[in-house]
Amino acid sequence: MSEPRVLVLAREPDIYRAPIRARYPELALETCSSYEALGEALRRFEPTVVLTGKIGAPFPRELLLSSAPSVEWVQCDSAGVDHLRPFSSRVRVTSASGIHDEALADYVVCAMLMFNLHFPAFFRQQRDHLWEPKPLRPSNGQRLVVLGLGAIGTRVAAKAQALGLQVVGVRARPQGDAVGVDKLIEVLEDADFLAVTLPRTEKTLGLVSEHVLTSMKPGSVLVNISRGGIVDERALARMLREGALRGAVLDVFETEPLPAESELWDLANVVITPHTGDIEGWQSKVVELFCANLERFRAGKTLRNVVDPERGY
């Protein structure tokens, strides 16, 4: 195999270029910091490998996967790769799945504990100078349903079990103690929490529908760290407003940024975070993953985190 030619596409490409160059001084390496300049960079440099981030929307998927014959492999710097669908049968795509799993698992655990300890209510009371004690709820023995058992969902399950929660995993293909999606309604009936950790694919869009939400145990809490469009936001807002659910912690939305007129902003039982999937130092983890895969690419070995075009992750 000839030596790879690597193009880095990112808003600040030097974050990746510098450590990669330090590790591979002789590597043919170019950078591109805008979608507008991508076409010219692809024609001039003819890369075989592209390390890419999302600079904005829409992502130039057609240009990268279908109009650049030299490109053989695309490494994304995110776990989600829905912006590259439909995938090319010619170009291998790898994700950064796994680099955020510890922090996002902490996020879900924190979300559950916040509602058990009434922190959202206490924050409002502090703002309003109110002194109203509330009894705390122990997590031990509570039931958590984790919808999606990839790298993140698996760590969520492990950390929740360490706190004494009973965990039921739901996945597309049942394995071990995990059940299939066809059992989702059944397992939600007595669950205190639902954590949505799915990738965005054609099969997962709208999966947490109004029917699923209304099947949740009254007084339960939803935590969504997946992708926008998987949870029915209108139905969720109505159930939260009516008190059918105790609360929700939401990091992803159908439209991002979440529009100012969304009623979710003003619901007292909702905690909103601005798609906070990034962790401190995450770019260095991307570089480590990319370099490990580059060695595999050079050796003709199977790459890590290869996206299955059929499943979409």
Q: How confident is the model at residue 56 (pLDDT cuts 50, 70, 90)?
A: confident
Structural domain boundaries in the chain: 5-99+280-299, 101-272
How far apart CA 155 and CA 152 sit, in angstroms, is: 5
- What residue type is assigned to position 120 of the chain? P
Average pLDDT over residues 138-148: 99
CATH number, domain 5-99+280-299, options 3.40.50.720, 3.10.20.30, 3.40.50.620, 3.40.50.2300? 3.40.50.720
State how far the alpha carbon of 59 is from the alpha carbons of 71, 82, 89, in Å.
16, 10, 19
| Residue pair 60/69 in contact by the 8 Å Cβ criterion | no
Mean pLDDT of 113-126: 98
Mean pLDDT value of segment 45-52: 98
Positions marked active-site: 227, 256, 275
Q: Which residue has the tokens 């669950």?
A: 191
Mean pLDDT (whole number) for 289-308: 98
Task: Render the burial of 51-89: b for 16+ CB within 10 Å, e for the rest.
Answer: bbbbbeeebbbeebbeebeebbbbbbbbbbbbebeebbe
pTM above 0.75, yes or no: yes
Instruction: Give tens-digit pLDDT for 74-116.
Output: 999 999 999 999 999 999 999 999 999 999 999 999 999 999 9
Superfamily (CATH H level) for 101-272: NAD(P)-binding Rossmann-like Domain (3.40.50.720)
Please determine whether the domains at 5-99+280-299 and 101-272 fall in the same fold group of CATH.
yes
CA 170, CA 287: separation in Å to the nearest integer? 31
Under the banding of pLDDT at 50, 70 and 90, the label for residue 167 is very high
For residues 25 and 191, what is the distance between their CA atoms, to the nearest angstrom? 54
